[in-house]
Amino acid sequence: MKNIGHAAAICLATALGAHAYASATPMPHIEHKNGRHALIVDGAPFTMLGVQAHNSSNYPDALQQVWPAVEDVHANTLEIPVAWEQIEPVEGTFDFSYVDTLVEQARTHGVRLVLLWFGTWKNTHAQYTPEWVKFDNRRFPRMLDRNGKTIYCLSPFGEETLKADKKAFVALMTHLKTIDADRHTVIMVQVENEVGTYGQARDYGPKAQALFAQKVPQAVLAHKKSPVPGAATGTWAQVYGPYADEYFHAWALASYIEEIAKAGRAVYDLPMYVNNALRDPIEPMAPWHGNFNSGGPTYDVIDIYRTVAPHLDLAAPDIYMTESDKVTANLDMFHRPDNPLLVPEMANSAPTARYLYQMLGHGALGVAPFGVDYADYTNFPLGSPLTDKRMSEPFAKVFAAFRPMERLWASWAFDGRTHGVAEGDDRKPQTIALKNWKATVSYRLWQLGDEQWLATVKEKPPGTETPSGGVAIAQIGDNEFIVVGQHARVKFDGAGTNADKPSMYGRVEEGHFDAAGRWVMERNWNGDQVDSGLNLTGRPVVLKVRMGTY
Ligand code: DGJ
């Protein structure tokens, strides 16, 4: 539609029917290239610098505590729930007044939205379903345990539950299309929240038992190998042995969510995803033994979700683990050629802010610390004990550095040019392999002095008492780099064709990108500012570095 006028485009869109929109820009969507991914918003790659509101902030009054935090942190996206109980308190009667207020206020604040559909399951519970669902166990059955006892979690085999959830979700997506198809304020939808079941591997109700005794569907067999030797085909137990219960439950949940996502996308085709309460990524793989919520999209069943639920773009890790080795393992496990990396939740505690560099360097479509919202609530010890600016500030500094690059960074990541590290709990230096260059990132060093000399100095730089460093690098040319970071020393050395060649900085410009994506230099670092490497303090900076050999 490039060469036709806007009005003509609208007419054409209308004539095209259900899959065309009265919008000049394409629908938000995810693109893939060479095993990498980009979230496309308004026709161009977009880095989601997001925050997630608290669970009960999904009401117009509560939004008043949300927007100041969104502003303070320089987020470009707010993730916030839309609860089934609030849009359909009476069966068949829908109320979208909150959604309307939310979308309107997001536009006023210049912020995009990711809506979290709290439907059948919220952290595995039925608590966000309307009361007419919650207490009608006959029509909306809960799962049964091995002894036939009803447990808390709604069954994924409840046909009426699926029908009712789907109907409400479709109503929501239809409404979004009506109010937002021309603006794309809402860029993504999460379907359900942290699904799975605690305390029990799967449903043991009659329907579940009958299906469990049937053969594993061919598509699942083709994509999910058993971690232990088992039959090539056959029942779940025959093929997957001790993993059968968990895998069967993952299949059941993914199939249910697929139905909802598919129906929603048929009316309004936004990207959709599921989020995951993580299992330990480091402990040796073992069958479920009560150690995580069974059936959720944990790293070991991503294959099942990707196979069974093609209308979900990805399974996303909610990273509340704070140990650096676990964060790294999770990023590696969820970032796959068939599964774009998105971190829709992470702890909002100050030490985790450093992981933003690692995540964004890793090519995440987006990040969102949870509970960046000034409601009178903290999810400490999971997140920060603070509920004011002191909580948002560590994230604000990082977002402020990236925000002017929200488009550029996403393009570089899509091209495979970005890298990122966060200071490890061992506080040791790390290296980043670049094309014909290598960056070494060290921590707890003053801005002047070599490593050996500084090792003899007792005092350490302020703000480095606990791990707090992070660096993200985009290689934007053969010898040119954008470096963003805090509390770290970065040094470049030749590698590959530059190995063993002496090198030096050509330029080390501190600056920022303007709205048109042009670099604006503020000053050039030289002398003391580069003699001991590029030393980044607690004030994140953006550097444009040119290296050369001689
Ligand atoms: C993860 C969930 O997805 C969130 O909704 C929230 O409950 C946090 N855990 C805990 O604050």
What is the tens place of the pLDDT at every residue in 220-260? 999 999 999 999 999 999 999 999 999 999 999 999 999 99
pLDDT of residue 541 exceeding 90, the answer is yes
Enumerate residues lining ligand 1, CB below 6 A: 55, 123, 193-194, 318, 345, 370, 379, 382
Cα(120) to centroid of ligand 1, in Å?
16
Cα(69) to centroid of ligand 1, in Å?
18
Altogether, the residues listed in the chain come to a count of: 550
What's the whole-number average pLDDT of the chain? 95
Test site for ligand 1: of 54, 55, 322, most ligand atoms within 8 A of the Cβ = 55
Tens-digit pLDDT profile for residues 476-527: 999 999 999 999 999 999 999 999 999 999 999 999 999 899 999 999 999 9
Tens-digit pLDDT profile for residues 144-178: 999 999 999 999 999 999 999 999 999 999 999 99
CB 455 within 8 A of CB 355: no
Residue 1 is predicted with a pLDDT of: 28
- Any alpha helices (H) in 128-243, and if so which ranges? 131-134, 159-180, 206-212, 218-223, 236-240
Cα(199) to centroid of ligand 1, in Å?
18
Rounded average pLDDT over 448-467: 96
Q: Whose CA is nearest to atom 11 of ligand 1?
A: 379
HSE on the CB side for 341, CA within 13 Å?
A: 26
Residue 25 is predicted with a pLDDT of: 84
For residue 190, give the nearest of 297, 92, 44 by alpha carbon: 297
The closest-lying atom of ligand 1 relative to the alpha carbon of residue 193 is 3
pLDDT band, residue 23 (cuts 50/70/90): low
- Taking phi over 0 as left and psi of -120 to 50 as alpha, with beta for the rest, 43 belongs to left
CB 157 within 8 A of CB 212: no
Test site for ligand 1: of 51, 194, 276, most ligand atoms within 8 A of the Cβ = 194
Cα(320) to centroid of ligand 1, in Å?
9
Provide the token pair at 306. Answer: 């990707």
pLDDT of residue 219 exceeding 80, the answer is yes
Cα(299) to centroid of ligand 1, in Å?
18
CA distance 461 to 65: 35
Instruction: Flag the least confident range among 22-36, 351-365, 369-383.
Output: 22-36
- Contacts of residue 5, defined as CB under 8 A and 6 or more positions apart, other chains included, come to none
Rounded average pLDDT over 283-287: 96
pLDDT of residue 5 exceeding 60, the answer is no
**Residue appearing with tokens 């919202």:** 373
pLDDT band, residue 2 (cuts 50/70/90): very low
pLDDT of residue 22 exceeding 90, the answer is no
The closest-lying atom of ligand 1 relative to the alpha carbon of residue 275 is 3
Residue 9 is predicted with a pLDDT of: 35
Test site for ligand 1: of 192, 322, 379, most ligand atoms within 8 A of the Cβ = 379
Residue 452 is predicted with a pLDDT of: 95
Cα(316) to centroid of ligand 1, in Å?
13
CA distance 230 to 242: 10
The sign of the dihedral angle between the CA atoms of 459, 461, 467, 472 is negative
pLDDT band, residue 416 (cuts 50/70/90): very high
Percentage of the chain modeled with pLDDT above 90: 95
The closest-lying atom of ligand 1 relative to the alpha carbon of residue 116 is 5
Cα(140) to centroid of ligand 1, in Å?
24
Cα(345) to centroid of ligand 1, in Å?
8
CA distance to 32, 98, 101, 171, per residue, from 175 (Å): 29, 12, 13, 6
Cβ count near 544 (within 10 Å)? 21
Which residues is 190 bridged to in the sheet? 116, 273
Cα(291) to centroid of ligand 1, in Å?
17
Tens-digit pLDDT profile for residues 393-409: 999 999 999 999 999 99
Cα(393) to centroid of ligand 1, in Å?
21
The closest-lying atom of ligand 1 relative to the alpha carbon of residue 379 is 11
Q: Whose CA is nearest to atom 10 of ligand 1?
A: 379
Three-state DSSP at 471 gives: strand
Rounded average pLDDT over 357-384: 98
HSE on the CB side for 495, CA within 13 Å?
A: 13
Residue 14 is predicted with a pLDDT of: 35
Tens-digit pLDDT profile for residues 287-313: 999 999 999 999 999 999 999 999 999
Cα(492) to centroid of ligand 1, in Å?
40
pLDDT of residue 3 exceeding 50, the answer is no
pLDDT of residue 20 exceeding 70, the answer is no
Tens-digit pLDDT profile for residues 417-428: 999 999 999 999
Report CA 77 to chain centroid distance, whole Å: 12
Residue 19 is predicted with a pLDDT of: 41
Q: Whose CA is nearest to atom 6 of ligand 1?
A: 55
Test site for ligand 1: of 322, 345, 391, most ligand atoms within 8 A of the Cβ = 345
Residue 16 is predicted with a pLDDT of: 35
